[in-house]
Amino acid sequence: MQDKQSTALIIIMLYMAVTIGIGFFVSWRNSKKDQSNEDFLMAGKSLGPVVLAATLFAANTGGASTTGIATNVFQYGLSASWYVVAAGIGFVLVSFIAPYFRRSSATTVPQIIKMRYGRNSHIITAITSIAALFMATGAQILATATVINTVTGFDFNTAAIITTVVVIGYTMIGGFASVAAANMMHVSFITVGMTAVMFIIVNNPAVGGFANLFATAREVVGPTGENLNLLSITKVGIPTIIGYIAMYFMTFPTGQEIVQTFCSAKDGKSAMTGSILAGLLSAAYAIVPAIIGLVGYTFIDGFASGQQTTALAQTTLTFAPGIAAGIVLAAVSAATISSASGNMIGTATMFTNDIFRPYINKGITDDKKEVWVSRVVMIIVGLVGMIIAISASNIISVMMGAFALRSAGPFAAFICGLFYKNVTQNAGFISIIAGIVMAGLWIYALNTPWGLNSMVPGGIVAFIVIFLVSYIDRKNGVEPAPPIELDAE
């Protein structure tokens, strides 16, 4: 192993050790008081806007938003950054409904669905949401293992096992409070650390600054001699950009790791402000991994011959000194670990609140038992995520599949559940099924026409169905579903 790789590895390992240490510290601090399952999974609903914004940003900024963007510069140029810019737009749009999560007295998306549509809708939403988070966890483990594999030369499967142990360790030990505390450190590394190293990479003599980078990148050709158009900010396509924005606007209100963070806010105003801050931070950060990927495809010999899944890691090791490389790769690890831990917490919360307590424990609340159930679920999520990581290859593809699974159906039911007084229970359930089926057909039968995200047609069909079935039900004398009762601010 080269000295630069050794230095980078030491920094990454130290970072992971500190992350686990935070989990132990939070666990030790909370052991001094009686801790309910809500305290363990929701941080006692105490997050202010800054910590909440950091947690939202860290939960969403994972492997797809770091290594995935750098990888996709080959195919889409700088327009690959739209994947994260759209997330920023999504956070701002969702900020207007964020206070409703905090006021709903619920802790999971399926619980909110159940309040309006009953048991059947509750079960199908819980199952699809949990399955989606298994996939999303796998994507984050895949990204972190790729970094460790590149830096150390360890077998990828070994790297995936190491990643899984770290993520399970600090998440299971301290719960959501440790995740929120660690996220403040994660965000610093992801934003400040990676941005600083980006400038170091670009100003490496072999790159020659931004002017030379852009001038050289403009002439890069692919394996068949075609110009790759690496500087394009629209190459990804307008339908895809619209699809990304729609995807985030639909998946944030139906994604447990995001909803749980909103529900953990100390009040509705903190939820709204934190969402806006997270959006601004995401939009500003988006160009950073894209620029690092651009350097790799422009200046590393042979890189432009095809898409490189290790583009971010290899570029950093090639053009940054050991300490700087360690910082940026630790930042990638921070992004992926924080997202994976958020997915684990979200899955544990949904399983405990939406399956274990109502259907296994017969509606009885038992905090000690539920905390242990939550921890066991986290271990299972980590192990299944590891298997997915070992068998998958494209991070963004895995994430897009997860988003479609959990959001195409429930989004219409969720929005109408909050704002449409005449919706019926039957309409909610049928629209959830219709949206999921349409998204599946769009991906697997139609092969994603025009590059438009499957959640757009899935969501449109779900909205049409929910309004149409509600209208038919009311014509036949069916009463609207009971409204969701919101806590006063």
- Cα–chain-centroid distance for residue 465? 28
Give the pLDDT band (50/70/90) at residue 12.
confident
Question: Mean pLDDT throughout 88-108?
Answer: 82
pLDDT tens readout for residues 427-444: 999 999 999 999 889 988
Which pLDDT score is estimated for 31?
58
Say if residue 411's pLDDT is above 70.
yes
CA dihedral of 116, 121, 126, 129, whole degrees rounded to 10 = -90
Say if residue 108's pLDDT is above 70.
yes
Question: What is the percentage of the chain residues whose pLDDT exceeds 70?
Answer: 88
471 or 126: whose pLDDT is higher?
471
CA dihedral of 381, 429, 407, 163, whole degrees rounded to 10 = 0
The answer to whether residues 197 and 328 touch, using CB atoms and an 8 Å cutoff, is: yes
Question: Mean pLDDT throughout 1-16?
Answer: 77
Range in 18-27, 115-124, 257-266, 402-411 with the lowest mean pLDDT: 18-27
Would you tell me how many other CB atoms lie within 10 Å of the CB of residue 367?
14
Which pLDDT score is estimated for 112?
82
State residue 227 phi and psi, 5-degree precision. -70, 130
Buried b (16+ CB within 10 A) or exposed e, 107-132: bbbbbbbbbbbbebbbbbbbbbbbeb
Token pair 């039900």 is found at 473
Question: Mean pLDDT throughout 310-319?
Answer: 90
Say if residue 89's pLDDT is above 60.
yes
Range in 131-135, 247-251, 426-430 with the lowest mean pLDDT: 131-135
Question: Mean pLDDT throughout 163-176?
Answer: 74
Identify the CA nearest to 287 among candidates 168, 188, 199.
199
- Cα–chain-centroid distance for residue 349? 16
- What domains can you pick out in the chain, each with its CATH number? 3-407 (1.20.1730.10), 409-482 (no CATH)
> Rounded distance, CA 434 to CA 429, Å?
9
Residue 280 burial by CB count (10 A; 0-12/13-18/19+): exposed, middle or buried? middle
Which pLDDT score is estimated for 177?
61
Which pLDDT score is estimated for 477?
94
pLDDT tens readout for residues 170-228: 677 656 666 666 667 777 777 888 899 899 999 999 999 999 999 999 999 988 889 99
pLDDT tens readout for residues 337-351: 777 777 788 788 888
Range in 2-6, 364-368, 477-481 with the lowest mean pLDDT: 2-6
Identify the CA nearest to 63 among candidates 325, 400, 303.
400
Say if residue 301's pLDDT is above 80.
yes
